[in-house]
Structure 1
Amino acid sequence: MRGDPFKPAARVANQRQDVWSIVNEAAVKSPVQPIVNMGQGFFGYNPPAFVVDAAKQALDRVECNQYSPTKGRPRLKKAIANSYSPFFGRTLDPEKEVTITTGANEGMLSAFMAFLEQGDEVIVFEPFFDQYISNIRLPGGEVVYVPLQPPEKGSTQTTSAAEWSLDMSKLEKAITDKTRMIVINSPHNPIGKVFSKQELQAIADLCVKHNIIILSDEVYDRLYYVPFTRVATLSPEVAELTLTVGSGGKNFYCTGWRVGWLIGPEHLIKHVSAAHTQICYSSVSPLQEATAIGFERADEEGFWEESKREMRQKMDLFNEVWDELGLPYSDPEGGYFVLVNMAKVKLPEDYIFPPHVAERPRDFKLSWFLIMEVGVAAIPPTEFFTDQNAHIVEDWLRFAVCKDDQVLETAKERLRGLKKYIQ
C-alpha cells in the first residue's frame, strides 16, 4: 500500500527549530523596539559605489541578462585569477583552475557532490558553519567532528582567538580509510581565528599522508588582522589536494548577490564545475559582471586595505562595551564576528523561557534574554556544535560588527543594561 505522499524526507523531518527562526521570533516579541540585529552576518551598509554602479550598468547590457556559461563569466574568472595569482605565487589559469558558483555555499555543496559517495567521511572542526553539515549529508557523506578548544582563561579574561586550539592527536585519530575530505575555515566563523602557518602545515601534512582533499573555506580572506596563510600555498603537494572557496558577497559587502567561486587544480575543479552545472546550471549574470569589475578596480580604489581597516575599527569600537562591563571576549584575528563570554551574566531564576528555548543550552537562553530585555540580537554558538560538545560554548554569544557605527553605538548603549545582571 502506498505510504503518505506528504511525508517529509528524513533530511528535513524532525529537526529542531533552527537558531535563525528562534532569534527572529524573539525579535518580533521583544518589548524593546526596534531590535538591534548583531546576530546575522549581513552588512548594514551598501557595497562600494564602484561595485554598485557596475551592477546597475550590467543590467543595461543584453548579454548580462542572459545565461552565463555554466563555469562562470570569462571576465569574472579572469579577474579572480589575476587578483589571486600573486597570493598563490604563480599565474592561475582562469579556464582550468577557477569555477564560479551561486554563492560560496553552493560552491561547497558542489565540491561535496563532486567527490563524496555514500558513506564517505568528511572531517569538520567544531564550531562549524551550519550549512557544512547538510551539504555533506546530501550526497550521502558522514560528518566526523573534531572540536576546537577555547582558551583556558576564556571565561575570566579577554584572550586572542588564536588561543582556540586544535588537538592534532585527536585529528589524526579521526582519520579512517573512509576519510575523503577535511574542511578548514580561516578566518574562522564564529571564532575569528586565523589558523597559523604551523597549524595549517600540520593539518596539510596529514592530508598529504592520507591523500585527503582539503576544502579551504576562505570567504573572509580579505578581512584579516594578523598574518594570513592560504592553505594551497604551503607546497605543490598540498596545492594538488586543495579547493579554495571565495565569496564576492563577503568581499564586497553584498551577501545577497550570491556570487562565489572555487580555485583549485584542474583535476579537482573540473568535477566541481560538473556538479555545479547539475545543481543550478549557471549563476546570476549581471552580478558576476559587477563582481568582476569590483576585482578589476579594487586595488586602484584602495578598497582592500580600507575594508580591513574599517572592519578592525568597528571591532574595536564595539568591543569597548565588554571592557566596560568586565565581560571577557575572544579578540578576533579576522572576519567580523566576536565571541563574548557571558558566564558572569546571571539570568533571573524565575525568568520564563518558551519551551523550545528552555530545552536548549544556556546560550540560547542568554540570546533570548538579551533580545527581550535589552533589545540586542546575538547568535548562540552551540548551534555550531554537536550536542556532545555544546557545553564548550554554552556561556558564549556571537555578535556581528559589520554594521553602521551608529548601530554599534546603539547596541553598546543597550548592552550597558546588562550591568544589573552581572555578578
Structure 2
Amino acid sequence: MTSAAEAFRPAARVAGQKQDVWSIVNEAAASSPVQPIVNMGQGFFGYNPPQFVIDAAKQSLDRVDCNQYAPTKGRPRLKKALADAYSPFYGRTLNPETEITITTGANEGMLSAFMAFIESGDEVIIFEPFFDQYISNIEMAGGVIKYVPMHPPVKGAIETSSASEWRIDIEELKKAITPKTKMIVLNTPHNPVGKVLSKEELEAIGELCVKNNILILSDEVYDRLYYVPFTRIATLSPELYNLTLTVGSGGKNFYATGWRVGWLIGPEHLIKYVSAAHTRICYSSVSPLQEATAIGFEEADKHGFWDESKKEMQGKVRKFNEIWDELGLPYSDPEGGYFVVVNMEKVKLPDDYVFPPHVAERPRDFKLSWFLIMEVGVAAIPPTEFYTKENAHIAENYLRFAVCKNDDVLEEAKARLRGLKKFIQA
C-alpha cells in the first residue's frame, strides 16, 4: 500500500532542498553543552519598540476598525504617514494612493513585486551575498537568477576594513545582462556585509538599467540605520524613479520584526501591479499594526527617534567589535544596518573535531558556526548560505553577527568569545 508520503510528492520548488542554515544553527544551540546560548545569529531585536510605538499598538487594538480587514493596498493613515516621511528624500510630494502599497512585511512585498513582473524564463540579477529569501521568491515566480558576486576587501583576512571595500565589478554586471534580463535586486544598507552602496556605484548600476530598460527592486529595509551618506537610487533621476520599486520595513525601523508591516514605494505604473499581486497573495495586511506604524512615523521626529536609533545602533556595533580588536580577528566595519561579518581564517579548528555529516559536508563557515556554538555558546550565521556553490569560497572564513541586542547580551557574548584565544593562530 502506498504511504501518504509516497503518494503526495512535494512540488519541485520545495523538494530536495538541503537543510537550511537556521535549522542547523538551532540544532547546534539545542545540543550545545554551553547553555544558555547567546544568540548573535538571527537579526531580531533583543528589546522592545520605543514606548510611543508600543502605546500606539495598544490603542489601535481598542478600535473596531483597526481589528477588521485593512484596505488591500494598506490603511490610509499609514500610506499618508509614509508619503509625508519619504517625500523629502524624493524632492517632491509622493501620492499615498498611487505610489505606495502596504505589504505583509518587506519579504511579502518583494514576492509581490516578483509575482507582478517576473514570468517564466525572465532573468533577475542579484548580488552575492544575498538575502536568502530572494532566491525562493524569484524562483516561485518562474524567474531565472543570474548571480554577480561582491568581492571582499583584498586584505580582509589580515586587517579590519570598511564594509565599503566589498566591491561590485561593473564589468561583471555588464556581462550578466542579457536580452532576458528583467530586473536587478539591490540591497543597501546591505545584509550581511553592512555596505552602503555609494552614489557613484548606484549611478553606474542605474545607467545600465536605463540603457537596457531593466527594473530595479531596491531593498532598503535598513534605510534608517546608516552611518555614512546614504543615497536612494530612485531619487537619482526621473528615469530611475520610473524603473524602481523601493522596499521598506516597519519591523526594522521600529524594532518590531514580528509585526510584519512592509511597503513598496514607486511609480503608479509599477505599484498598481504589485498591489494586484499582493491582493492575490494575502489580500490585506495586519490592520492594527499598520495603524501603530503610521503613528510611529508621525511621532518619530518629535521623540528624536531616528537620530537616537542610529546613534544607539552604531554604539552597539562599536561596543561589540571591541572583542575582535582584542582577539586580533579582522572584520568589516559596517556602514549601515546591524550586522558585522568577521574573518575567522586565523581560528584553527582542531583536526580531530567531530562534526555531524550535514555540517562536515558544508563550507568551513558552517563548521566555524557549529564550533562556536558548541565550545563558547555563541551563535553566529555562516554567510556561505547567501552564496551560490561556485562562489561560496569567497565567504567560507567569515561569520555574521547581529548586534541588535541588549548591552548585557553583547558583553556576555564578548566574554564568551574570549574563549577563542587558544584556537587563534598568530
Q: Residue 150 of structure 1: which of 112, 134, 152 is its match?
A: 152
User: Where does 1:265-414 land on structure 2 (aligned, <5 Å)?
Assistant: 265-414=267-416
Q: Residue 247 of structure 1: which of 231, 246, 249 is its match?
A: 249
- How far the C-alpha of 1:210 sits from its partner, in A, is 0.3
- How far the C-alpha of 1:139 sits from its partner, in A, is 1.2
Q: Secondary structure at the match of 1:339?
A: strand
Q: Secondary structure at the match of 1:180?
A: strand
Q: Give 1:80's aligned residue.
A: 82
**Structure 2 residue identity aligned to 1:362:** R
- How far the C-alpha of 1:161 sits from its partner, in A, is 0.2
Moved over 3 A (4+): 2-5
**Structure 1 residue identity aligned to 2:270:** L
1:172 matched to 2:174? The reply is yes
Deviations 1:259-304 (A, max 9, x none): 0000000000000000000000000000000000000000111000
Distance, in Å, in 2 between the alignment partners of 1:258 and 1:214 is: 23
User: Where does 1:62-141 land on structure 2 (aligned, <5 Å)?
Assistant: 62-141=64-143
What number of residue pairs does the alignment pair up? Answer: 422
Distance, in Å, in 2 between the alignment partners of 1:204 and 1:5 is: 49
**Structure 1 residue identity aligned to 2:394:** I
1:261 matched to 2:263? The reply is yes
Deviations 1:23-52 (A, max 9, x none): 000000000000000000000000000000
Deviations 1:131-169 (A, max 9, x none): 000000001001000000000000000000000001101
Deviations 1:72-111 (A, max 9, x none): 0000000000000001111000000000000000000000
Percentage identity across aligned positions? 79
Distance, in Å, in 2 between the alignment partners of 1:11 and 1:344 is: 38
1:221 matched to 2:223? The reply is yes
**Structure 1 residue identity aligned to 2:185:** V
- How far the C-alpha of 1:345 sits from its partner, in A, is 0.1
Distance, in Å, in 2 between the alignment partners of 1:258 and 1:421 is: 41
- How far the C-alpha of 1:66 sits from its partner, in A, is 0.2
Deviations 1:381-410 (A, max 9, x none): 000000000000000000000000000000
Distance, in Å, in 1 between the alignment partners of 2:97 and 2:289 is: 19
Distance, in Å, in 2 between the alignment partners of 1:243 and 1:88 is: 13
Q: Residue 19 of structure 1: which of 18, 21, 33 is its match?
A: 21
Distance, in Å, in 2 between the alignment partners of 1:143 and 1:401 is: 31
Distance, in Å, in 2 between the alignment partners of 1:153 and 1:336 is: 23
Distance, in Å, in 2 between the alignment partners of 1:5 and 1:232 is: 49
Q: Secondary structure at the match of 1:255?
A: coil
Q: CA RMSD in A?
A: 0.9
1:237 matched to 2:230? The reply is no
- How far the C-alpha of 1:175 sits from its partner, in A, is 0.4
Q: Secondary structure at the match of 2:258?
A: helix
Q: Residue 10 of structure 2: which of 8, 11, 25 is its match?
A: 8
Distance, in Å, in 2 between the alignment partners of 1:413 and 1:60 is: 44
Distance, in Å, in 2 between the alignment partners of 1:408 and 1:233 is: 37
Distance, in Å, in 1 between the alignment partners of 2:116 and 2:39 is: 36
- How far the C-alpha of 1:379 sits from its partner, in A, is 0.1
Distance, in Å, in 1 between the alignment partners of 2:346 and 2:127 is: 27
- How far the C-alpha of 1:65 sits from its partner, in A, is 0.3
- How far the C-alpha of 1:14 sits from its partner, in A, is 1.0
Distance, in Å, in 2 between the alignment partners of 1:167 and 1:285 is: 43
Q: Give 1:50's aligned residue.
A: 52
Q: Secondary structure at the match of 1:123?
A: strand
**Structure 1 residue identity aligned to 2:217:** L
Distance, in Å, in 2 between the alignment partners of 1:5 and 1:212 is: 42
Q: Residue 41 of structure 2: which of 39, 42, 46 is its match?
A: 39
Q: Secondary structure at the match of 2:189?
A: coil
Deviations 1:212-259 (A, max 9, x none): 000000000000000000010110110000000000000000000000
- How far the C-alpha of 1:6 sits from its partner, in A, is 1.2
Distance, in Å, in 2 between the alignment partners of 1:325 and 1:316 is: 15
Distance, in Å, in 1 between the alignment partners of 2:231 and 2:7 is: 50
Q: Give 1:196's aligned residue.
A: 198
Distance, in Å, in 1 between the alignment partners of 2:7 and 2:261 is: 36
- How far the C-alpha of 1:116 sits from its partner, in A, is 0.6
Distance, in Å, in 2 between the alignment partners of 1:89 and 1:405 is: 38
- How far the C-alpha of 1:5 sits from its partner, in A, is 3.5
Distance, in Å, in 2 between the alignment partners of 1:25 and 1:277 is: 36
Distance, in Å, in 1 between the alignment partners of 2:7 and 2:237 is: 52
Distance, in Å, in 2 between the alignment partners of 1:273 and 1:304 is: 28
Distance, in Å, in 1 between the alignment partners of 2:21 and 2:92 is: 42
Normalised by the size of structure 2, how large is the TM-score?
A: 0.98
Q: Give 1:182's aligned residue.
A: 184
**Structure 2 residue identity aligned to 1:20:** W
In structure 2, the gaps of 5 or more residues are none
